[in-house]
Structure 1
Amino acid sequence: MRLKHSAIAVVLTAMTALGTALTSTTAAHATPGRHATTFAHGPSRPAVPIVEARGPGVFPHSVDYDPDSRKFVVGSLAHSTISSVGQDGTVRTLVDDKDLVSVQAVRVDSKRNRILATNVDYGLADRSAPATRFRVAGVASYDTDSGRRLWYADLSKVAGDGKQHLVSDVTIAADGTAYAVDELTPTIFRIDRDGRASVLLRDDLLAGKLDIPDFLNDVGMSAVAWMPGNILVVAMADGSLVRVPVDHPEQAAKVRLTTDLKTITAGIRVLPDGSIAAISSGLLSGQAAVVQRVRPGPHWKSATVTVTDTVADPVSSAVTAGPRGTTYALSGGLAALLAGGPNDGFTLRPVNVR
């Protein structure tokens, strides 16, 4: 995988093209203050707010929702921090660990009062260095209340292959075992509740096949979710899904989809009925980000895909649960980060997944 500076111009052109539409959409729904009501989830439900987060320079790539605090949790690609986000847009730092370089994914485990985060290095963070670019690969666990680190799993050491790595996502099974996926190698890692890590699966089925001209090459696994039945559902950036039975990972196979997910598949959320909401970023195309619902057949061997919503900001990179049964999409300012520019916050926008 390679980042190329010529992509910045493409990204900014796409963002400029969408700017007028995005401004008009926001203005049409806005009310005084930092967040605005947008739409209702069903005829009897109250409208839910757009959250305009006041977190300059955070540049989050992922988000999760903590039902206990009723706040969102985000990681920072730039500042190596993990923060909570109130529904009023207030951002508060929870974790500032000197061993983190760039936080790609965050996952709240409210059952065990912990937050898991993946550690990467695109070469864009405050703590980035030429020697560590795409060489940092880890998952860390933190106490939700105190921010104290519980353990750190160095996955580059576990892989032992000397290759570049980018741990794009992590999911948590019912027993507390975590599973992390690598976007640059076809590797899924298993991490027990005490932070002991091992390789669950290496398989060319998981290898990156998506090339984005002048931006990213060989983009592979972008997101992962654990499902009842002890099955991992892995979203590939190219719009395909792979099912991995945890007890028999060698039986990994593609999920038969009615239609592929829109590329670039950026993030997924497990819905209460066991289906998945997926968001696909239009980072380079400049097209609106697309939200799709994936309804599985038996044992996730097949699934039906339907489009449920779009987000005017094409650079939307994650989808998560929200308060009162809502679902939110994250727009974290990735285009500005790639261009070396500042931002004054980020947006969490409610989306329809029905």
Structure 2
Amino acid sequence: MRLTLSAIAVVVAAVTTAGTALTTTTAAHAPRHQHIRVSGDIQPCPVHTIDAKGPRVFPHSVDYDARTGKFVVGSLAHSTISTVGRDGTVRTLVDDKDLVSVQAVRVDSRRHRVLATNVDYGLADRSAPSTKLSVAGVASYDATTGRRHWYVDLNKVADDGKQHLLADVTVAPDGTAYAVDQLTPTVFRIDRHGRASVLLRNDLLAGTVDIPDFLTGVGQTAVAWMPGDVLIIAKADGSLVRVPTRHPEQAGAVRLSGKLAALTAGLRVLPDGSLAAVSSGLLSGKAAVVQRVRPVDHWTSAAVTVTDTVTDPVTSGVSAGPRGSTYALSGGLAALLMGKPNDGFTLRPVTVK
């Protein structure tokens, strides 16, 4: 589907005003309950929708800090990273003027830090047209104080004269981070001290999805590190690519029982080693789809099943939540595209079965 940016804004606005008319399963609105074992008995534990009180934050991705019990989000409109409590309270953790728009955030609990990708769509409050798509960096911050550890400019690392847009970042248990680029088939490797290199350039990762008047050739949209030192990379067209980090030249397409719903917006690693994937609903104008992806033969293939939908307009991320729950993020992209303020954003529990 080919839509102009203005048409996308209209579609998104229509979804916003349609509200629950897009509901395709009652699970999207029903109260959620997780069950936990306490003293040998199974006890219900309510997991509820969080209406975050963060005007003009416009987050694109979300991750969960199990140590604090709070979510972490960035902002497409500001140079900030914020925490979100279960009561919806939003507090600024990082305010770094070197950030233009925070596309992705990732909590690294082992090292007590937050990683973030820095981009420029030309949508941020202080962005100038001349800087659009000229920013591509990853930064590391202390998860309590927000103090910056380091920042790396991946445009310089790529050194290819092309535009880059860092869609997502993941982290391995040893602290190595991997960032993927929407606009070129490039995967970057960043060690714990912020020293970066190109891990892989491969046409398997090239983009084929166009959003006229906004982005062309959109490719990689999300990445997850999996046991066995394998990166699973989602592309905008609904395909997955497997990249062994020790032998990136052995990268290959994952054979799927069915494509992921496009545009694939986010991935969450589940405790059993499978993935939860969420689509955005951006181009379709339909409810976002939550899917479970179960690996077969070390991710050479995978089985895909639909488990839920999200009726909030334009879902852009999926994350772990308290007590093993899974949450989807709707960050107010409709208002941002139309140049309007928003009152906050929504984190909604979803079913992944």
TM-score (normalised: structure 1): 0.93
Question: Does the CA-based 8 Å contact 1:5-1:215 persist in structure 2?
Answer: no
Letter in 1 for 2:104: A
Matched, 1:51 2:44: no
> How far off is 1:132 after superposition?
1.4
1:239 maps to: 238
Where does the alignment leave 5 or more consecutive residues of structure 2 unmatched? 36-41
Aligned length: 344
Question: Does the CA-based 8 Å contact 1:138-1:153 persist in structure 2?
Answer: yes
Within 2, Cα distance between the matches of 1:127 and 1:111? 34
Letter in 1 for 2:32: F
Letter in 1 for 2:118: N
Deviations along 1:49-80, one digit per CA (max 9) or x if unpaired, are 10010000000000000000000000000012
2:38 maps to: none
1:242-257 aligned at under 5 Å gives the runs 242-257=241-256
> How far off is 1:44 after superposition?
4.8
Question: Does the CA-based 8 Å contact 2:4-2:211 persist in structure 1?
Answer: no
Matched, 1:21 2:21: yes
2:96 maps to: 97
Where does the alignment leave 5 or more consecutive residues of structure 1 unmatched? 30-36
Question: Does the CA-based 8 Å contact 2:281-2:287 persist in structure 1?
Answer: yes
Within 1, Cα distance between the matches of 2:126 and 2:309? 34
Within 2, Cα distance between the matches of 1:67 and 1:112? 13
1:288 maps to: 287
> How far off is 1:285 after superposition?
1.7
Within 2, Cα distance between the matches of 1:20 and 1:181? 34
SS in 2 for 1:336: helix
> How far off is 1:284 after superposition?
2.5
1:63 maps to: 62
Relative distance call for 1:344 and 1:73 in structure 2 (3 A) is same
> How far off is 1:218 after superposition?
1.1
Within 1, Cα distance between the matches of 2:79 and 2:325? 28
SS in 1 for 2:9: helix
Deviations along 1:81-124, one digit per CA (max 9) or x if unpaired, are 00000000000000000100000000001110110000000000
> How far off is 1:183 after superposition?
0.3
Question: Does the CA-based 8 Å contact 1:6-1:214 persist in structure 2?
Answer: no
Question: Does the CA-based 8 Å contact 2:64-2:321 persist in structure 1?
Answer: yes
1:32 maps to: none
Letter in 1 for 2:73: V
1:1-354 aligned at under 5 Å gives the runs 4-16=5-17, 18-21=18-21, 38-41=31-34, 44-212=43-211, 216-354=215-353
Within 1, Cα distance between the matches of 2:144 and 2:323? 22
> How far off is 1:312 after superposition?
0.8
> How far off is 1:7 after superposition?
3.0
Within 2, Cα distance between the matches of 1:178 and 1:194? 10
Within 2, Cα distance between the matches of 1:236 and 1:122? 19
Question: Does the CA-based 8 Å contact 2:209-2:216 persist in structure 1?
Answer: yes
2:39 maps to: none
Question: Does the CA-based 8 Å contact 2:12-2:313 persist in structure 1?
Answer: no
Within 2, Cα distance between the matches of 1:118 and 1:216? 18
SS in 2 for 1:300: coil
Question: Does the CA-based 8 Å contact 1:39-1:47 persist in structure 2?
Answer: yes
Relative distance call for 1:3 and 1:107 in structure 2 (3 A) is farther
Within 2, Cα distance between the matches of 1:193 and 1:3? 40
SS in 1 for 2:8: helix
Q: CA RMSD in A?
A: 2.1
Question: Does the CA-based 8 Å contact 1:4-1:216 persist in structure 2?
Answer: no
Deviations along 1:253-312, one digit per CA (max 9) or x if unpaired, are 000000010101000000011100000111122110000000001211010000000011
Within 2, Cα distance between the matches of 1:192 and 1:342? 38
Within 2, Cα distance between the matches of 1:212 and 1:146? 38
Question: Does the CA-based 8 Å contact 2:22-2:286 persist in structure 1?
Answer: no
> How far off is 1:214 after superposition?
5.8
SS in 2 for 1:161: coil
> How far off is 1:10 after superposition?
3.0
Question: Does the CA-based 8 Å contact 1:115-1:144 persist in structure 2?
Answer: yes
Letter in 2 for 1:218: G
Question: Does the CA-based 8 Å contact 2:168-2:179 persist in structure 1?
Answer: yes
Letter in 1 for 2:187: I
Within 1, Cα distance between the matches of 2:44 and 2:306? 22
Letter in 2 for 1:341: K
Question: Does the CA-based 8 Å contact 1:41-1:352 persist in structure 2?
Answer: no
TM-score (normalised: structure 2): 0.93
